[in-house]
Chains A and B, each alone.
Chain A
Amino acid sequence: MAAGGVVTAADETAAAAGVRPGMRRREAETLCPAAVTLDADPAAEAAAFEPVVRAVEEMVPRVEVAAPGLLFVPVAGAVRYYGGEQPVVDRVAAAVAGAAGPGAGIGLADGPFAARAAAGAAGPGPLVVADTAAFLATFDVSVLGTAELADTFRWLGITTLGELAALPRAAVASRFGPAGLEAHRVARGEDRRVAPRRVPDDVFVEERFDPPVTGLEQAGFAARALANRLSGVLGPWGGIPHRIHIEAEAATGGVRSRVWRSADPFTEAEVAERVRWQLQAWVEGGGIPGGIARLRLAPADLSDRGRQLRLDQDGVSEMEARRAVARAQALLGPDAVLGAVPQGGRDPGERVHWHRWEEAPGPPERDPAAPWPGRVPTPAPALVIPEPRPLEVEWEGGFPVRVRLGSRWEPVLAWAGPWRRTGRWWKGEEPADRYQIVTSAGAFLCEVAGGRCLLAGVYD
């Protein structure tokens, strides 16, 4: 079977002649002239694979399909239930053999990457890996799947996953970037067990069909539309899922669901494709009598890849961010690059405790929990003028009526206050009254002290 001119699968006869997946089509035809090359049809493969998935699913819930022919089975729960890894593996093997006949590769290890490698390395019987890191150590770096990265590693003398795993994490991060970091994780047998970002349970997209969808073409359209909406919901900052939960309700009422997973986060097109394959498998297998009345997609395991920043998890972006801030500091000096934390105080300016960005904030100068009588209420003015400047205000009977903004006088539409700050008389400070003054050009925070009016902030 071939896709894009490359062999994706070969039957026993062809394999005996030396045909291997990944080979160019012409090369394969030279080795085995009698071979019939078929174009890969993943949807048909998914449909053919469906009975296997269902057989395993009956024993272990929450299985995840990665590709037609590749199924991940999370066994943590099943191991407890069946009392050991071997009984679980034996049962899965029996189920697969019952549904598809012998010849399946079955492996058990920590994490999907190692499990897949174990399945590939398994003989006729299942392979249970006890020590995942040790098992992976002998593998060539090419199994990482990124040719470019593997070549770089090899060029540096790192040929096996064991050698890669032995490198310090920070060094890999700084030299190879996010891809290297991920490879390093995989090589250490820590394949994405670093708690993926949780998705709130209520994030999903759903579509109801009336009349129900019965044709495959229609189902393909629905899949694409829903995949598009899903990526809209996740948004430009929301990340992309590693797993996708597909749920379909039949016109007669039954609900089927299936999880598809991928080592790489799904793109919108890939989501659409998986949904289409799954729907085809269900429809052709008679799993959805009467057609699809409702279809729902829910993402899981959001990846941070594809976004600019992965600071929570990713040392590389964090370093980039730090470097960017350091550059700004080099240009402006450390006192111009600031962080801030809230603290107590009566004036908006007082309630911000500044610190140099790279340094931890010191203890707050003013207790945030104290009552601070006379404090100006929220919202905070977005602009706070450190040295309040004179503001011309016209008063009538103690009420502000006009404010001079630049060259024009603006009538005061509304005002609130005053909030009084009793000055520290022992330091010679006068009490000040603060007013919020609203004009058609915006709202301002003014301070009146000793008969003078000052502009202290702008509610911009």
Chain B
Amino acid sequence: MDNLVDMSPDPILAAEPGRVVGLVGHPGLGLTRLGLGMLAGPARLGPVAAVDARGWLSPAAAWEVGVGPDRLVVVRCADRSLWPRVTAALLEGLGAVYAEVPAGVGDAVLRRLAALARSRRSALVLRPLRGGLPSGLAHLRLEAVGVRWEGAGEGHGLLLRRRITLRAAGRAMAGIERVVEVDDDGTHAVRVVSRLAAAPAGQATG
């Protein structure tokens, strides 16, 4: 593979047409930026959308991870009853949608959206604000388990780089759960730095 120039992003971090990625974990662990980064590929071809359920989403983070300002539609929808229709409407016509899932959206709704994404060949990144996702829904499920920041000290320096530890599972991982570490220094594309088979349940440490 020496001469192989790989243009495609790491499959773990790429949104693929017709595929659902689930991002699960507490806010602060870095999933928003990761999810926005998944829009960078599809955004090269056309507009992509981020559904913002709290009004907090900052497009500046999306620009930093490679989404062009003219390609990102931020759709603010805090209303849980409108959220499914809004997200469905976006999936109908856009190549990729990153959607924060407000608390209280039912599993059946999420399954319908996943089916729609598959039939429209749109990429859907779901980021539940509370709780998880119905099992088997996501082609790739990434659960954030920790984040380490570098650059800041005891009142000196500044945030420079972070490393997120994720548990990756789903059909994309061929059924093998893995622990994946992802580096993000804010200027370059997010990249995978290591991939370890997950420790068997019960033996996990930390």
Contact = CB atoms under 8 A, between A and B. Distances in A.
Contacts of B85: 331
B123 to A, nearest CB: 8
Contact of B58 (A205, A348, A436): A348
B28 A442 contact: yes
Contacts, number: 247
Nearest to B77: A332
B5 A441 contact: no
Contacts of A234: 7-8
B153 A414 contact: yes
B77 A336 contact: yes
A315 to B, nearest CB: 12
A444 interface: yes
B106 to A, nearest CB: 18
Interface string A302-331: 001001111110000110111111011001
A35 to B, nearest CB: 45
Given A348-B58, A379-B61, A321 B159 contact: no
A460 B82 contact: no
Contact of A324 (B82, B93, B157): B93
B16 A328 contact: no
Nearest to B35: A382
A99 interface: no
A338 interface: yes
A interface: dominant SS: mixed
A236 B27 contact: no
B183 to A, nearest CB: 13
B154 A399 contact: yes
A415 B155 CA distance: 5
Nearest to B56: A383
Contacts of A202: 5
**Residue of A339, A348, A382, A442 ringed by the most chain B CB atoms within 10 A:** A382
A203 B79 CA distance: 46
Contacts of B3: 204-206, 296
Nearest to A327: B89
Interface residues of A, number: 75
A167 interface: no
B56 A386 contact: yes
A166 interface: no
Interface stretch (A17-25, A146-154, A349-357): A349-357
A341 B76 contact: no
A338 B94 contact: no
A300 B18 CA distance: 26
B60 A310 contact: no
A328 B73 CA distance: 11
Contacts of B82: 331-332
B46 A309 contact: yes
Given A309-B42, A342-B63, A382 B36 contact: yes
Contact of B93 (A322, A331, A415): A322
A351 B60 CA distance: 8
A3 B155 CA distance: 76
Contacts of A325: 47, 49, 73, 90, 93-94
Contact of A382 (B14, B57, B158): B57
A304 B30 CA distance: 33
A442 to B, nearest CB: 2
Interface of B: 3-9, 14, 16-17, 26-33, 36, 41-42, 44-47, 49, 54-64, 69-70, 72-77, 79, 82, 85-86, 89-95, 120-122, 146-147, 149, 151-159, 162, 184, 186
7 contacts: A238-B8, A327-B92, A331-B86, A341-B70, A380-B64, A385-B56, A458-B56
Interface pairs A-B: 10 shortest CB-CB: A442-B28, A324-B93, A235-B8, A311-B46, A379-B186, A327-B89, A380-B60, A382-B61, A382-B32, A416-B152
Given A318-B46, A320-B93, A442-B28, 17 more contacts: A234-B8, A308-B122, A321-B93, A324-B92, A327-B90, A328-B89, A332-B76, A336-B75, A340-B69, A348-B60, A380-B61, A385-B56, A417-B158, A438-B149, A442-B26, A457-B58, A458-B32
